[in-house]
């Protein structure tokens, strides 16, 4: 390895460390708030129809993740310029495993152990809290409050999951609706009221 190769490797390591500790500005507060509104709408629709199908919640999560991901890439490229790809990578490496774990756990439980489906809202809320905590290095420090909210609601949802009188649709919709609005408000307040889309 030549001195030039060694220097280039050192520069890449420095850029990776910088990306791992730089605040990612890719998440649009309004779009995050929209995902919360979707949670309320789906809970209302399922509550009214009496059919709390959790596969629909997995589909909604995938659609919301795709929307947020596309918007995050566009915003990151506009706001972070040369650091955008590294910041996207760093944030994705922290969030993707948690999202994948939630999708796998949900799919397996719904297909193989449907009698335990009422545990999923609490499990998903706890995973959301873990995902936020995992990405705190790239998020505003105040995001620990939405993470704490999801830890609390996840614990409560698990504790009440055995009570069949509690509507499953609202066990999903209420915590995720409020939680996503809290995430959006935190992103908005932490951004100094700039870069809003």
CA neighbor of 30 nearest in space, from 190, 192, 180: 180
d(C-alpha 120, C-alpha 172), whole Å: 9
For 101-149, the pLDDT digits (tens) are: 999 999 999 999 999 999 999 999 999 999 999 999 888 999 999 999 9
- C-alpha dihedral, 57 to 96 to 27 to 157, nearest 10°: 40
Does 6 score more than 80 pLDDT?
no
Residue 51 binned pLDDT confidence (cut-offs 50, 70, 90): confident
Decide if 33 contacts 184 (C-beta within 8 A).
yes
* Extents of the domains making up the chain: 26-189
Residue 7 has pLDDT above 70, yes or no: no
Which pLDDT score is estimated for 196? 44
- Mean pLDDT over the full length of the chain: 87
pLDDT at 32: 96
Q: Tell whether the model's pLDDT for residue 195 goes beyond 50.
A: no
Write down the pLDDT at residue 21. Answer: 54
The answer to whether 119 touches 161, Cβ cutoff 8 Å, is yes
Kindly tell me if the per-residue pLDDT of 197 is higher than 50. Answer: no
Which candidate, 30, 28, 18, 29, places its Cα nearest to that of 84?
18
| CA separation for the pair 60, 176 (Å, rounded) | 12
Closest listed residue to residue 35, CA positions, set 181, 197, 150: 181
Q: Are 51 and 182 in contact (CB under 8 A)?
A: no
């Amino acid at each position: 390895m030549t001195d030039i190769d060694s220097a280039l490797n050192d520069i890449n390591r420095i850029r990776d460390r910088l990306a791992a500790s730089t605040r990612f500005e890719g998440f649009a507060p309004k779009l995050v708030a929209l995902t919360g509104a979707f949670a309320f709408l789906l809970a209302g629709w399922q509550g009214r129809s009496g059919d709390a199908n959790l596969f629909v919640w997995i589909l909604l999560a995938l659609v919301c993740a795709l929307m947020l991901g596309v918007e995050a890439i566009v915003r990151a490229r506009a706001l972070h310029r040369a650091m955008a790809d590294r910041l996207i990578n760093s944030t994705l490496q922290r969030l993707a495993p948690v999202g994948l774990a939630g999708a796998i756990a949900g799919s397996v439980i719904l297909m193989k152990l449907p009698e335990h489906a009422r545990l999923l809202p609490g499990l998903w809320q706890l995973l959301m809290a873990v995902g936020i905590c995992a990405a705190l290095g790239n998020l505003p420090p105040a995001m620990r409050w939405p993470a704490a909210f999801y830890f609390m609601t996840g614990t409560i949802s698990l504790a009440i999951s055995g009570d069949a009188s509690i509507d499953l649709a609202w066990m999903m919709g209420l915590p995720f609706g409020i939680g996503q609005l809290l995430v959006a408000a935190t992103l908005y307040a932490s951004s100094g009221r700039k870069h809003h889309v």
